[in-house]
Every structure is written in structure tokens, then in C-alpha cells.
Chains A and B, each alone.
Chain A
């Protein structure tokens, strides 16, 4: 049903109907925003890239030969936006550990961190780790974990083989696990060093 609805809206938009495209935007902007937020680990940038994704989709809409593939195509544009952003900025990988430890006042008397701070730090580590997974794996991983799609649905969405999806999810999860473990270790080492220094 939603496929038919999308296809109809895409056809109308391709004929120049802006309201139809606006409807597509309303249907998918939050989903694309969440996808981008997990892909790059930065919420505010994700919101901007969502806008850019739809603008580029509008500009390129006439080139979409299969209107039924609109959503997958939209994800492809969003993925390219995420890739371009990370390639251009490369800032994700330049952040020092100290930037995670921004508020010294929240270190409790025993040298540990308050619970809510710990939770925030862990969330940030997780976002960062996810955003560092190889982009082909990450695409499948985010669709699988965050959107809860089955591997078959991902294969259909991205127009790739189901086995490829399976491999990418497997490799992505192991890569995520390795990266997260490394970040966790580095951060713990950093915190211990800070405590030793008498903070």
C-alpha cells in the first residue's frame, strides 16, 4: 500500500507537483534524519544533511527511472551525503579524549563520574564508534539495528544481494564491537590518568 502511495507521489512529483514531493518529505524526513544521525553521530549536522538530501532528490528526480525505488534511492543520496560530510570534515576522528571530559565538576569525590554523566559518555562513545564503521557495513547495520529492517528488506531497499547484506551486517557488527572496545579502553585509560593527576 505504502509502495503504491509512494510511487504515485513520485510520479506526480516528476510531473512537477511540488505538493506531492512535500508529502514525500513529510513521510520520510524524520526517518532519513534518524538514519543520518546514526550514520555520522552528529544530530545537528544530520538535520542539515536531511534537508540537503531532499533537495538533491528533487533536483535529480527526473533521473529516477523506477518511481517504486524512490525510498532506496533516497537512502543512497543520504548515504552519499554522510560519506561526503565525513570525507570533507574528517573532524570525527580528530576529537581528543579530553573533549569527552568537558565538565570536571561532575567528577564525584571518589574520582568517578556521576551516573548520568557516565550514561552520556557511553552514548557518545557508541555514536562515535558507529560512525566509524566502514560506510558500506554501516549502511546495512543502521538499517538493520536502528530501523529494524530484515536482511531481505534491506536487500530490496538497497537493490543488493541478500547474502551481501548478511555479510555486511556481520562484518559491521564485528567492526563496531572492535572499535567500541578500543574507544572504551582508551577512554578508561584517559580517565584513570586524570584521576591520578589529582583531579
Chain B
């Protein structure tokens, strides 16, 4: 491509389609381009780029064919219960408004409480009474709150969050819980800024998130996993992993394996899994530059998929997902990942999974009810069945030593 910009007086007319120009402008442009090499080159480049952008394949990923119906239900109820959050991203200059649903809005009442202190006590009592009518008890001690909340963050916690959310919704018909996965850092940011109600994280929130309240829910066991064809590699020491992740070990034959280049699949620095890997296993940050043999991928399932399909690949991820994908899970310093070795902290590549809320959830709100449910026996049984270690079974000392975090920016 040529490097000269078009003449400034023609720049705007040069980019437009013929149909967007008047016949006079079109004729004038054509005449000018014939004689101006810079504009000629620019127009050719613009046309070429436009053609090639139009020829790009359609997106490989499609959104869900339908919005999750339950996601839209009872939105207004939750908004009444949760603190009102503003979000500048919803519109260029608008905040997220309360939806004008059929249920009565308590917002005016709340304002009235602040202004009319004389009748405050009466109104508060009324308000609590009204709210309590939205919370029912089923199955013994399970508080069922209605409304809609969203959570996102750690992809390592995603399977558990999703399963427990489903379990809660099965029992509480009026509850709608949307679970998404991104990264621990995104989850923390999103809950701090009020985009979501619960932020899932593998790491402790950095001090800059001053409003977040931690609800530890389980321990997740991570593993170093290899492409299934690397059958002969059963154990890696910390020194060997440091060598791999610093770039001093390039080929599996150096570790007694086949003559195959080592291909690394890491997570971005926003990932709690990566922070845990660096702090619990490597003892230092990953320093190997990205390149043909070192790639970052965004989520746990993407690591699993990449390691499964790439000869010579190594990655680190939730052990359950690694096993679901049939990856070769290796021992670290001759300790295989297992709940018992995690509980005793002999196997050290694990982390406490946290659910963060912005402030203490409003009593009897869906967020509050769900967080309580998460700590209950049903949810902890689900955690165990999915390969997590119940938080109730974790020893205090081990938990403290695994409270990983990242430095404040």
C-alpha cells in the first residue's frame, strides 16, 4: 500500500460511495483522482480494505438463539431489593432505570423515609413487611427470594456457580440467576462497578476494591495438564515447570518424553488461575514472551480444548475440566491432585473460590438468599460432586496460605 494520505480537501468525498455523492461531486472527484496520485492510491487502498472487510467470514460464534426467558422475569423485584447501581455503559448518557413493572415500586417509599423522619419507623416496618412477603421458606430452611441477579468472573468457578444456580432456581420458581464466565479480574471489576450482583474470583480482591464483601465458597483443585499423547510424562517438578515457563526447556525429550516441541497455553494476567499458578507453583510471574509456542487463551474450557488438540501442549486449569477433556494430568513433585492432598495442603496448586458482593447483600434479597444457599449443605454437596473441595472441610491455615491476590495497580 502507498503511504501518502489523500489531499485534505478531498479526503471526505474520497471515501464515500458514488451513491452518497451528488452527480456534480462525483464528476469532480473522478476528475481529481485521475490527476492526483495520492488520492488515487488512497482510494484504491480504501476500496481494497472495504472489499476485504466485507469478505471476512461471519463470526464463528453466535449469540444464543433466545434470551434466557427466566432472565427477564422478575427483574423489577430484584431491582427493588438491591442497591441501585448506576452504569454509564447502558447508554451514552443514561443510567439503568428501574423497570416499570406491575409490582409496586418501593423507591418512592425509601425516599420518603429519608425525608419524613417522623413517620420513618412506620414506613420501615411496612417496607420490611412488604419485602418479607416476597421471601418464602421451602424445603425446611431454604429461603426462597424472587428476582433476578447476574454473576460472572472466574471460569474455574463457573461450573459450580452454574450448577448451584440451577439447583436454587429449581427449588425457587421466582428466582432468576444468570451465570456467565470471564475472568476473576473482570468479575471483581464488574461487581465493584455494579454491573453484576456477584463477582466470582479465584483470588482475593485487591485492596482497591473497597466495597466488596468476600464470601468464600469452595476450594478448586487446579492441575498441570498435557496433551493426551504425552503418556510417558507422569510427573513434573517445580524446577522443570519453571524451566518450561521461563523458556529454558523447549522440548519434551529434555524431560524424558518424545522429541516434540513444548507448546504452552497460558491464561491472561487477569486470570485467577494464572495468579494461583504463578504464586503456588512457579513462585514467580510467567516471563516467557508470547510466541508460536506460547499462547494465551481466555477461559478454562479454551485451555482444555487447545491442549487436547495441540501435540506437545501443556496448560494449567481446573482438574475436573482437564479430566473431562481427557488430558494427561501430571503430578507436581510426585503429588497427584486430589481432595485429600488439598485438604492437607500437601498438593499446593489449588485456590479458594470467592463470591464477592458489593457491600453486604440486602437482607432477604435474592443475592443474600443465594449466598446463604451457596454455603449450605446442598450446594457444598454439589461442589464435592463436581470435584471441588467443600469450604467447610478446608483448614484455616491452608486457607490463609492460599489467599492469593494481585498487587494494586
Interface residues, chain A, with chain B CB atoms under 8 Å away: 14, 16, 18, 21-22, 25-26, 29-30, 32-34, 37-38, 43-48, 50-51, 54-63, 73, 76-77, 80-81, 83-84, 88-89, 91, 95-96, 98-99, 101-104, 122-123, 126-127, 130, 145-146, 150-152, 166-167, 169-171, 173-174, 176-177, 180-181, 184
| B:10-62 near A, CB below 8 Å | 11-12, 14-17, 19-20, 42, 45-46, 49-50, 52-54, 56-62
User: In the docked arrangement, what's the CA distance between A88 and B79, Å?
Assistant: 26
User: In the docked arrangement, what's the CA distance between A22 and B68, Å?
Assistant: 9
Of the listed residues B63, B64, B67, the one surrounded by the most CB atoms of chain A closer than 10 A to its CB is B63
B101 partner residues in chain A, CB cutoff 8 A: 16
Q: Are A102 and B16 in contact (CB under 8 A)?
A: no
In the complex, per-residue mask of B222-247: 1 if CB is within 8 Å of any chain A CB, else 0: 00000000000000000000000000
Q: Is B186 engaged at the interface, CB distance under 8 Å to the other chain?
A: yes
Distance in angstroms from B268 CB to nearest chain A CB is 6
Q: Are B59 and A37 in contact (CB under 8 A)?
A: yes
The chain B residue with its CB closest to the CB of A83 is: B89
In the complex, per-residue mask of B267-279: 1 if CB is within 8 Å of any chain A CB, else 0: 0101000000000
Q: With A126-B53, A177-B1 as given contacts, are A80 and B66 in contact (CB-CB < 8 Å)?
A: no
Q: How many residues of B contact A (CB 8 A)?
A: 69
B45 partner residues in chain A, CB cutoff 8 A: 177
A61 partner residues in chain B, CB cutoff 8 A: 97, 99
The chain A residue with its CB closest to the CB of B79 is: A59
Distance in angstroms from A85 CB to nearest chain B CB is 9
Q: With A25-B67, A43-B59, A59-B75 as given contacts, are A180 and B49 in contact (CB-CB < 8 Å)?
A: yes
A99: contacting residue among B1, B57, B295, CB under 8 A: B295
The chain B residue with its CB closest to the CB of A36 is: B59
User: In the docked arrangement, what's the CA distance between A146 and B52, Å?
Assistant: 10
Q: Which 3 A-B pairs have the closest CB atoms?
A: A98-B291, A63-B97, A47-B61
Distance in angstroms from A26 CB to nearest chain B CB is 7
